[in-house]
């Protein structure tokens, strides 16, 4: 016979079961808390992803107008297709805008620009490169260490270089040091400065060009641009055209420049002319292909139409034949 459980044993058993129940409840609570934490983490991750998406979308939307602005000002980050095609570092579109504005400001609104902006951009690039590399090479031969391309040294380089003196000597008396000639440039000043630093000086820290020299260089570029635009317009008038073309700009440069500068500029312009010719040939070939395909389609349509007409004629002839046979039967 099993011994009767004492009161204390019953109480102990009850306490144990209560503790187990409490432990289960606490375990459930801790599980719930863990699940809550996990779900909170997941929701936090999701919200972070969403915010990242929104930020990236916002950045992409902000980047598009930025790229357009860079394309307008000729930034090296935003080179347009036309510029890349001809292998230039100055965007060509701002030069087209500059030419149109120049002619408009001189009461010639009806002037059309065809390839002239390519030649202007190339001429600006080659001119700036030649002038600065030539002047800095002259200074290197004279001294060592830090090379400061001062206005005095830059003018000395022009005076000692015969073909430059014959071209630009006449402009010196009209130069106004207090005027900011960078505002007359087709491109933004920052873009020009970057080109000079990277292309002309190759990030050489020993070379330094001061503000006065830069302003005088911009003055010379402004003189070149206006004179070439004017001469090219005169050529278009003699040809009884309202178009200033790339060939017009090339002819004006041949009149205006001389010596090594002319050779270097014309070499670059001939390269670009060949690229543009090949492009126009490809475009015309594509046009011919389209016309040929269109002609073939029209021939097919005509062929099908002729077949249908032949079928109609045959059916009409058969119908007439049947009618004549019926009439002959009736006569019989």
- State pLDDT tens for residues 231-260: 999 999 999 999 999 999 999 999 999 999
Residue 65 pLDDT greater than 90, yes or no: no
Q: What is residue 196's predicted lDDT score, i.e. its pLDDT?
A: 84
| HSE of 30, CA atoms in CB hemisphere, 13 A | 6
What is the band of 55 on the pLDDT scale with cuts at 50, 70, 90?
Answer: low
Mean pLDDT, range 201-225, rounded to an integer: 85
Q: Beta-carbon neighbour count of residue 241 at 10 Å?
A: 14
Residue bearing the bigger pLDDT, 293 or 155: 155
Lowest mean pLDDT among 10-14, 108-112, 149-153, 228-232: 10-14
Question: Facing residues of 245 across strands?
Answer: 114, 115
Pick from 57-71, 112-126, 189-203: least confident: 57-71
Query: What's residue 72's pLDDT?
Result: 46
pLDDT tens sequence across 170-182: 998 899 999 999 9
User: What's the pLDDT band for 128 if we cut at 50, 70, 90?
Assistant: very high
Q: Which of 72, 82, 158 is nearest to 118 (CA)?
A: 82
Share the mean pLDDT of the chain: 77
Q: What is the pTM of this model?
A: 0.63
Separation CA 196–CA 187 (nearest Å): 13
Does residue 332 surpass a pLDDT of 50?
A: no
Residue range 262-273, pLDDT digits in tens? 999 999 999 999
DSSP secondary structure, 121-146, as one string = HHHHHHHHHHHHHHHHHHHHHH--SS
Confidence check: pLDDT of 324 > 60: no
Contacts of range 81-87, beta carbons closer than 8 Å, 24 or more positions apart:
82/118, 83/121, 85/275, 85/279, 86/118, 86/122, 86/271, 86/272, 86/275, 86/276, 87/271, 87/272, 87/275
Residues found in the chain:
332
Domains of the chain: 73-277 (1.10.20.10)
Residues 6 or more apart whose CB falls under 8 angstroms from that of 153 comprise 135, 138, 139, 213
Distances (CA, A) of 242 to 94, 113, 232: 20, 9, 11
Task: Indicate the angle between helix axes 116-142 and 151-160, nearest 10 degrees.
Answer: 100
Strand partners, 148: 208
Residue 4 pLDDT > 80: no
- What does the pLDDT read at residue 34? 64
- Does residue 169 surpass a pLDDT of 50? yes
pLDDT at 280: 74
């Amino acid at each position: 016979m099993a011994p009767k459980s004492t009161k204390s044993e019953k109480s102990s058993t009850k306490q144990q079961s209560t503790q187990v129940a409490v432990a289960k409840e606490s375990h459930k609570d801790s599980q719930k808390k863990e699940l809550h934490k996990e779900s909170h983490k997941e929701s936090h991750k999701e919200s972070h992803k969403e915010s990242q998406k929104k930020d990236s979308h916002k950045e992409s939307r902000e980047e598009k107008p930025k790229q357009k602005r860079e394309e307008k000002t000729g930034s090296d980050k935003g080179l347009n297709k036309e510029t890349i095609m001809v292998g230039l570092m100055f965007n060509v579109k701002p030069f087209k805008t500059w030419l149109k504005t120049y002619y408009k400001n001189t009461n010639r609104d009806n002037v059309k620009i065809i390839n002239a902006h390519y030649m202007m951009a190339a001429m600006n690039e080659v001119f700036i490169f030649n002038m600065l590399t030539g002047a800095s090479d002259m200074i290197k031969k004279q001294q060592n260490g830090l090379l400061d391309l001062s206005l005095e040294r830059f003018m000395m380089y022009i005076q000692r270089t015969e073909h430059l003196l014959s071209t630009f000597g006449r402009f010196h008396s009209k130069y106004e040091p207090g005027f900011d000639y960078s505002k007359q440039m087709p491109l933004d000043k920052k873009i020009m400065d970057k080109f000079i630093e990277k292309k002309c000086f190759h990030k050489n820290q020993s070379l330094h060009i001061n503000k006065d020299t830069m302003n005088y260089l911009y003055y010379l570029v402004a003189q070149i641009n206006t004179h070439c635009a004017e001469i090219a317009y005169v050529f278009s008038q003699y040809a009884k055209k309202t178009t200033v073309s790339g060939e017009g700009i090339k002819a004006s440069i041949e009149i205006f420049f001389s010596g090594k500068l002319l050779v270097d500029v014309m070499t670059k312009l001939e390269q670009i002319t060949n690229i543009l010719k090949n492009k126009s040939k490809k475009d015309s070939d594509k046009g011919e292909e389209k016309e040929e395909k269109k002609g073939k389609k029209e021939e097919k349509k005509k062929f099908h139409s002729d077949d249908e007409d032949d079928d109609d004629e045959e059916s009409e002839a058969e119908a007439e034949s049947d009618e004549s046979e019926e009439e002959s039967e009736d006569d019989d």
